[in-house]
Amino acid sequence: MPAPLRVSLARALACAALPVLLTGCSVLTLGRSGRAGEPTAVVPEPGGKRAKEKRSDTPLDALAESRLRAEQQPNEPWWPYETAVLEQKAGRPAEAEASLRASVARDSGYAPALSALSRTLYEQGRHEEAVQLLAPVREGRVTMNDGERAAVLAGLALHEAALGREADARATLAGVPRDEAAGVSGYIAVRGTDRDAADKATQAALRGAPNSAALHNNRGIALLRTADADAAEKEFLRAIELDPTRPAPYYNLAILERWYRLDAAAASARFKQYWNLSHADPDSLYAELKEGPNK
């Protein structure tokens, strides 16, 4: 197997290739039973009536309002979480992380904030911090429903795998329902050295979620590791068909063209597509393709 497809390629997937069930890439869709919805903000009307307050239409007004509500309702974790979402959209990642931590400080079991913070730490390679953050969930020291707990534990497993603790990751996944753990199990298997395990795990994951771009991408990697470039290409192309905005399949196709078909021109074309979506380059393809995306 060509050298660039070892562990570094699995690293290239990171959050961009994780299945939708996991913390990483779908954190903002997570909710907590009875807590995920926006609190009803009310203001007095003439005559003593109360009416739901209208949110501002502009992003900056919405952010200022969210911060104000977070101050006015110091025990409610939703508002700092909402503030983090708006800060992230405004290109203020440091402020977004601080807001997420404020949300978790208010409620250590607030799944949306925990998952979003887990993703932030994953993207920055701060896996030890994430393990400490999520450990109380595994130990049952925080309260959340089964679905949220499964998603958070799946994220914890990915952080453990990133630290090279595959045994710990599998032990963590043992507490996650089989269907919800399938995608993460496949991803962890792809990272490892057992090609048969990766083949079986990625097949099983796809049976449970045949329309997941992330899982088709993982399946393509497993096939590429067996040197079945044609079958791997079909999986990567299927992933792109399902989600054209996902960077990882384009990057993996560039590797396939460069190292399995020895076609530098085709590899460069795929890499240009990837570069339009992401500038992460763990396998140094930019340098390998000489002039990179401007070639």
Q: Do 153 and 219 sit in the same domain of this protein?
A: no
First-to-last alpha carbon distance for the chain, in angstroms, is: 27
The Cβ-side half-sphere exposure at 104, using a 13 Å CA radius, reads 21
Q: State yes or no: pLDDT of 18 exceeds 70.
A: no
State which of 159, 176, 193 marks the end of a domain: 176
pLDDT band at 195 (very low <50, low <70, confident <90, very high): low
Same domain, 81 and 165: yes
191 located within any domain? no
- Shared-domain flag, residues 24 and 125: yes
Verify that 157 and 115 share a domain, yes or no. yes
Q: Do residues 256 and 112 share a domain?
A: no
**92 pLDDT more than 80:** yes
Residue 227 lies in a domain: yes
Asked if 240 and 220 sit in the same domain, the reply is yes
- DSSP assignments along the chain, one per residue: --GGGSHHHHHHHGGGG--TTSHHHHGGG---TTTSSPP--EEE-GGG-EEEPPPPSSHHHHHHHHHHHHHH-TT-SHHHHHHHHHHHHTT-HHHHHHHHHHHHHH-TT-HHHHHHHHHHHHHTT-HHHHHHHHHHHHTT-S---HHHHHHHHHHHHHHHHHTT-HHHHHHHHTTS-HHHHHHHHHHHHHHSS-HHHHHHHHHHHHHH-TT-HHHHHHHHHHHHHTT-HHHHHHHHHHHHHH-TT-SHHHHHHHHIIIIIS--HHHHHHHHHHHHTT----TT-HHHHTSSGGG-
Q: Are residues 166 and 25 in the same domain?
A: yes
CATH code of the domain containing 147: 1.25.40.10
Question: What is the pTM for the complete model shown?
Answer: 0.52
Q: How far apart are CA 18 and CA 274, in angstroms?
A: 17
Based on the domain organization, do 3 and 27 belong to the same domain? no
The answer on 214 and 146 residing in a single domain is no
Residue 199 lies in a domain: no
Looking at the fold, whether 231 and 258 belong to one and the same domain comes out as: yes
What mean pLDDT comes out for the span 172-183?
A: 65
Mean pLDDT of 233-255: 92
Taking the C-alpha atoms of residue 105 and residue 113, their distance in angstroms, rounded to an integer, is 10
214/106 same-domain check:
no
* Domain region containing 74: 20-33+58-176
- Same domain, residue pair 25 and 143: yes
* List of residues 6+ apart from 70 with CB closer than 8 A: 76, 79, 80, 83, 99, 102
Look at residue 5 and tell me whether its pLDDT is greater than 50. Answer: no
Q: Specify the residue for token string 């996650």.
A: 176
What whole-number percentage of the chain has pLDDT above 70?
71
Tens of pLDDT, residues 58-87 = 555 888 999 999 999 999 999 999 999 999
**What is the total count of domains within the chain?**
2
What pLDDT is recorded for position 170?
80
